[in-house]
Amino acid sequence: MKSLFILKIGGKVIEDQALLDEALQAFVQQEGYKILIHGGGKRASELSKQLGIPVQMMNGRRITDAATLEVAVMVYAGLANKNIVASLQALGCNAIGLSGADANAILAHKREVKDIDYGFAGDVDAVNVNTIQTLLEGSLTPVFCAITHDGQGQLLNTNADTIAMQLATAMAPYYLVSLHFCFEKPGVLLNADDHNSVIPILHYNDYQDYQADGTIYEGMLPKLDNAFTALQKGVKEVRIGDVRAILEQKGTTLQY
């Protein structure tokens, strides 16, 4: 089985050109098959604000109305994705930028309306493994933004961590997949204010305890839920940390 290195870079890495360059250089240094997934950063919120589109939040999640979706498509699939692809090309990596609509790579459905209508938020149904394999075998490096589609012509906004998890688990039967979440912190922290408190190995049982006692909270929870799901579904290795941690195999490694 061949190895597949999957790197997800978060919003705050995208926002800082020096950090982004460092992350892309680290990515390019990985040999063999690789896939990049990127968030959007605050640029989408800034653009919404400039255009007078109100940012609507509900339970910490953004409501994606039609105007907000257009901004997300412009910033994620346009500005962020194409600049990352052009930067990777300059580093000698034959990158190809994709949304889930491109080559029908990631199919999703509009999140069902129960108590809350999240608008054009997409929950992933399927990853088109064959197509991604065709690109990888053709010496191309897929670079995914966090936009998917429903197969009926509708683009959808999907969480980038979720896309990373879905891609990693879909590829796991065919490759030895290592999944790396790169963000602005050196790893999962025991104390959110102390960058020296990285948990080197986070077992699932301990994660549950940390969650119960409030040591790990808020934004880290969906990220870690995604990460543990990947591990549970056959991804060989999941690591979380900053660029340096990913490069030097430090940060936090998850274990079931």
d(Cα 26, Cα 239) in Å, to the nearest integer?
14
Which CB atom, from 48 or from 252, has the smaller least distance to a copy of itself?
Answer: 48
As measured in angstroms, the least distance from the Cβ of 17 to a copy of itself is 11
If binding is defined by CB under 8 A, does position 50 make contact with a copy of itself?
Answer: yes
Nearby residues of 194 by Cβ (< 8 Å), 6 or more positions away: none
d(Cα 50, Cα 90) in Å, to the nearest integer?
31
d(Cα 88, Cα 196) in Å, to the nearest integer?
31
As measured in angstroms, the least distance from the Cβ of 235 to a copy of itself is 26
As measured in angstroms, the least distance from the Cβ of 173 to a copy of itself is 21
Binding piece for a copy of itself, criterion CB under 8 A, among 4-12, 152-160, 162-170, 187-195: 152-160
Q: Are the beta carbons of 142 and 85 closer than 8 angstroms?
A: no
**Residue showing tokens 């346009």:** 78
Residues in 74-103 at the binding interface with a copy of itself, rule: CB under 8 A: 74-79, 81-83, 85-87, 89-90, 94-99, 101-103
Binding piece for a copy of itself, criterion CB under 8 A, among 11-19, 131-139, 162-170, 192-200: 131-139
If binding is defined by CB under 8 A, does position 197 make contact with a copy of itself?
Answer: no
As measured in angstroms, the least distance from the Cβ of 71 to a copy of itself is 9
As measured in angstroms, the least distance from the Cβ of 55 to a copy of itself is 17
Q: Is the Cα torsion angle 44, 50, 51, 53 positive or negative in sign? A: positive
If binding is defined by CB under 8 A, does position 55 make contact with a copy of itself?
Answer: no
**What does the angle CA 236 – CA 167 – CA 55 come to, to the nearest 5 degrees?**
125
d(Cα 11, Cα 43) in Å, to the nearest integer?
9
For residue 141, the cross-strand partners are 95
Secondary structure element (H or E) that encloses residue 129, with its range: helix 129-137
As measured in angstroms, the least distance from the Cβ of 50 to a copy of itself is 6
If binding is defined by CB under 8 A, does position 73 make contact with a copy of itself?
Answer: yes
The binding site for a copy of itself (CB under 8 A) comprises: 50-51, 70, 73-79, 81-83, 85-87, 89-90, 94-99, 101-104, 131, 134, 138, 140, 147, 149, 151-155
